[in-house]
Amino acid sequence: MKKILLVLTIAFLLNACSKDSSLERQLTDILIIMNEKEKRGTGYVRKLNEHERKEQQLFTDTMEMTQQRYSEVEKLVAALKKSANERMVIIEKEQQVLHDARMELDYLNEQMNGFDDEGINKIKKLLSALYNRYDTHDRFVLNYKKLIYEQTKLYTQLEDRSVRANVLDEQVNEINRLTSTIEEDIHEFNEATTEVNRLKSRALASLEKMK
C-alpha cells in the first residue's frame, strides 16, 4: 500500500497594511485572518502524517503475521482500526479549520457586491480563485474519508481467517486507486494556493493604483 503524503502548502506571506485605502486594508486584514485560521490546520496535517507513518508500520507487521499467530493479528488489527478512527477525527478538525476561514471569504465577497471597476474585478478574480481552492480541499477531504473507510474495510478482512488472497488484492488495489486520487487532489490544492498568491499580489497592486 502506498504511503500517503499529506502536504498542504498554505502561505499568503502577507504584511500588515498601513495604507489609506480602506478597501485595501479590509482585503489585507481578511486575508491575514484567513491565513491565521488556516495555520491552525498545519498541526492536524502533522498529526495525520504521524498516524499514517505508524499505521503503515502496523500494517506491514500485520501482513508478516501468520494465521497460527491469530491472536497477535487481532491485536494489530484493533490498533489499525483505532488509528484509522483517529485519522477520521483529525481530518474532520482540519476540514473545520478551513471552513472557518472560508466564512471570512464569504464576508469579503458580500462587500464586493455593487462595485464594478478594474481594481474590484481583480479582487473578484482573487475571490473566485479562493473559492476554487476551498472546493478543491473539500474534494480532497471527501476522498480521504473514502480512503479511511476502504482501509478499515481491509483491516476487517485481515482478521477473517477465511478471506481469500484475491479479495485482499482487490481491496488493496482500491486503496491504491484512492491514494493516487488523493495525491492528485493535494497537487491541485497546492497549485490553487500558488494561483491565489499570484492573484492576491495583482489585486493589491490594482488597489494601490486606484488611490
pLDDT band at 172 (very low <50, low <70, confident <90, very high): very high
Give the residue carrying C-alpha cell 491504491. 176
Q: Considering the chain, what percentage of its residues have pLDDT values greater than 90?
A: 36
Report the pLDDT value the prediction gives residue 66, as an integer from 0 to 100. Answer: 62
Residue 114 scores a pLDDT above 80: no
Q: Which domains does the chain have, with CATH numbers?
A: 22-209 (1.20.120.570)
Q: Which residue has the higher pLDDT, 19 or 150?
A: 150
The predicted-structure confidence for 120-153, as pLDDT tens digits, reads as follows: 778 888 899 999 999 999 999 999 999 999 999 9
Residue 12 scores a pLDDT above 60: no
State how far Cα 181 lies from the chain centre: 13
What SS3 string covers the chain?
CCCCCCCCCCCCCCCCCCCCCHHHHHHHHHHHHHHHHHHHHHHHHHHHHHHHHHHHHHHHHHHCCCHHHHHHHHHHHHHHHHHHHHHHHHHHHHHHHHHHHHHHHHHHHHHCCCCCCHHHHHHHHHHHHHHHHHHHHHHHHHHHHHHHHHHHHHHHHHCCCCCCHHHHHHHHHHHHHHHHHHHHHHHHHHHHHHHHHHHHHHHHHHHHHCC
Report the pLDDT value the prediction gives residue 71, as an integer from 0 to 100. Answer: 83
CA distance 89 to 48: 10
Residue 14 scores a pLDDT above 70: no
Residue 15 scores a pLDDT above 70: no
Residue 17 scores a pLDDT above 50: no
Report the pLDDT value the prediction gives residue 163, as an integer from 0 to 100. Answer: 85
Average pLDDT, the chain: 81
pLDDT band at 21 (very low <50, low <70, confident <90, very high): low
Report the pLDDT value the prediction gives residue 60, as an integer from 0 to 100. Answer: 87
Question: Which pTM was predicted?
Answer: 0.83
Longest dimension (CA), the chain: 78
The predicted-structure confidence for 50-86, as pLDDT tens digits, reads as follows: 999 999 999 888 888 766 687 888 899 999 999 999 9
φ/ψ bin of 115: left (φ > 0), alpha (ψ from -120 to 50), beta (otherwise) = beta
